[in-house]
Structure 1
C-alpha cells in the first residue's frame, strides 16, 4: 500500500480516484437528512443514485484504491439495495397514479385504489428499514466513518501513481467489452446474408412471448448498461463529443430497457396486490401495460440494430483509446 499526497493538478490514477470517490460520497450524504424526513421522493432518488455512483467510483478505480473493509463495494451495495426497495415502490406509485389510472375507465379505477393501499403498507415497512439503516449504529454508519477517515489519510495501491491518460482505456474497456458481448443483444434477432438483425414487424403477442422467454436477459443487460453509463460518466472530461454521444446511447439503452422492466414489475406487483393472476387483470389495464412494453420494444430495436453493427462497436472501442487530455 502507499499514500499519495494530492498535488495541485491531478495527473495520476490515484488523484482522480480520490476526486471521484469524494465527489460521490459527498453528494450521497447531502440527501441523508431529507430522506429521513420522507417528504420528497426526489431526495430518496438522488441518494440512491449517489450510492450507485459511489459504488461505481469504488469499483471503477479499484486498481488504485486501498479502502477499509467498511467502505468497499460490497458494503455500499447492501445499503444501496435497501434504498432501492423503497425507491422502487415510489416508482410504482408514480406510474399507477400518473400513467395508468388516468387511462382507465371508472369500472377499473377501484383496482388502482386497492393496489395503492397495498403499496402504502409495503412502503411503510420499507421506510422503517431505511430509517433503521441510516440512523442506527449499522453498516451505514461504519461506511460513513470509514470513508471520512480515508479522505483524511487516503491509501492506495501502487498502480495509483500511473498517469491517468495512459490507463483510461484499461479502466474502461473491460466493462464496455462485457456490455457489448452481453447475450441480451441477441434477444429477438434473426440471421441472414447481411448479418444479424432484430426481427422486424413483430406483433404484440410475439413481443410478449419474447419478453416472457428472455425478459430476464434484457433486464440483466439493462443493469450492465447502468454500470457502463456510470463508469463512463466518470471520465467525460477526458474525451470529446463522440464519447459523449456513446454515453447518451448507453443512457438511452438503460432507459428503454428500464421501461420494459418497470412495466413487467408493475404487472407482477398488481397480481400480488390484487391476489389474482396476470390473465385476470382488468382488460384495459392489461392492454395499457402491454402497449407500454410494445412501444419500448420498438425503441429498443432501433438501438439494438445500431449496436449489432460491427462498425459502431469498433468505433466505440477506438474512441476509448483516444483520450484528449487532462481537463483544465
Structure 2
C-alpha cells in the first residue's frame, strides 16, 4: 500500500479505513466469478480476501466503530463457508495431480471411489457457498461496510498519528503469536547452551529431533495446537502486510517468516485433513487400503516438519524474539527511509 503523506491520511483512523477498504475491495472483486464457479483460483482469492478483512477488523478494533453486521464473528462464518469449498478443491486437485499418478494399479480403483464422493461433496459445498453469498447477512455485511467507509465512525483515538501508534497496533497480535504453546510442540525438553552462539549468548533450543513415527503420533493427539499457531501467524501476517511502507528490510524479513510459518504448517495440516477425509469416506485404515498414498502423505508431513523445526528454533531464540519486538517499536521516520 502506498503511503499518502498528508497529515489526514497518516492518522490511525484513516489507515484503518484504508486497510478495511483494501480487503473489502479484494473480496468483492472475486464474488461474481466465485458464483460462476469456473475457476477455483477465484474462490481461493475471495477466501484470502475475507480472511484479510477479518484480520483488519480485528487489528483495528480499538479505533473503529463498525456496524453489527461487520462483526468478526459474521466475517468468520462467511470465511469458513468459503473455506469448506476451497478445502475440497485442494483435496481433489492433490489427489488427481499429485497422488493418483504414483499409485499402484491395485490402489487406483479405491481412490476413484474417493474422488467420486468428493465431487458430490463439492456440489453440496458450492450450493452452501452460493446460498451464503446470496443471503441477506452477507448482503448486509457488504452494504454496511461500504456505508461505513463512506461515513466512517471512529473511537476517540482516531486522530493519533499512525507512526506513533503502529507498535501498539502490531505488538498485541505478535505477542499472542510468540506466547503460543505451539512453539513447544514436539519438544520434550529445552536446553540452554552455555557457550555463545552466532546469534545469542544464551540460546534456548530443542534438545533433539523427533522421529517420523513419533511425529505421526504427536500430530494425531496434539495436531490442533500447530493448526492454532498457524492461524495466529496468518493474522499477524495479514496485519503486518498493511504497513510495509512504514518499515525497512528487517520488517520485510519477519513478514516473510510469517508467510513461511503459515505455508509450512499449512502443508502439514492439509495432509492431516486429507487423511481424515479418506478414512471417513473409506471407513478403513488407509495404510492398508491406500498404502502408497498413506506413505507419501506421511513423508510429506515429515519433510514439512524438517522445515518447521528451523523456524521453530529461530523463534525460540530470545534474541530473535526481542529483535522482532524492537523492529516493530521503531518504525523509521520519513527522513530515515
Q: Do both proteins adopt the same fold according to a TM-score greater than 0.5, normalized to the shorter chain?
A: yes
Q: Partner of 2:152 in structure 1?
A: 154
Aligned residues: 322
TM-score normalised according to structure 2 size:
0.91
Tell me, yes or no, if structure 1 residue 254 matches structure 2 residue 252. no
Question: Structure 1, residues 54-77: CA drift from partner, whole Å, max 9, x if none?
Answer: 111111111111111112222111
Match of 2:251 among 218, 237, 243: 243
Q: Where does structure 1 differ by over 6 angstroms across 4 or more consecutive aligned residues?
A: none
Question: Structure 1, residues 32-81: CA drift from partner, whole Å, max 9, x if none?
Answer: 11000000000000000001111111111111111111122221111111
TM-superposed CA distance for 1:213, in Å, is 2.8
Q: Partner of 1:164 in structure 2?
A: 162
* Alignment partners' CA distance in 2, 1:57 and 1:29: 16
Equivalent pair of 1:271/1:281 in contact (CA under 8 Å): no
Equivalent pair of 2:19/2:242 in contact (CA under 8 Å): yes
* Alignment partners' CA distance in 2, 1:199 and 1:130: 46
Q: Partner of 1:268 in structure 2?
A: 276
Equivalent pair of 2:191/2:206 in contact (CA under 8 Å): no
Q: Partner of 2:223 in structure 1?
A: 215
Question: Aligned with 1:158: secondary structure?
Answer: coil
TM-score normalised according to structure 1 size:
0.94
TM-superposed CA distance for 1:204, in Å, is 1.7
Question: Structure 1, residues 135-165: CA drift from partner, whole Å, max 9, x if none?
Answer: 23x2100101101211221111111111101
Question: Structure 1, residues 62-111: CA drift from partner, whole Å, max 9, x if none?
Answer: 11111111122221111111111111111111111122112212211112
* Alignment partners' CA distance in 2, 1:188 and 1:248: 24
Equivalent pair of 1:188/1:210 in contact (CA under 8 Å): yes
TM-superposed CA distance for 1:10, in Å, is 1.1
Question: Structure 1, residues 204-235: CA drift from partner, whole Å, max 9, x if none?
Answer: 21221222232111111111111111111111
Deviates more, 1:8-17 or 1:234-243: 8-17
TM-superposed CA distance for 1:9, in Å, is 5.1
Q: Partner of 2:197 in structure 1?
A: none
Q: Partner of 1:121 in structure 2?
A: 120
Taking the TM superposition and a 5 Å limit, the aligned residue runs for 1:1-328 are 10-136=9-135, 138-189=136-187, 190-194=189-193, 196-325=204-333
- Cα 1:325–1:93 change in 2 (3 A) is farther
| Aligned residues: CA RMSD | 1.8
Structure 1: tracts of 5 or more residues without a match: 1-6
- Cα 1:258–1:20 change in 2 (3 A) is same
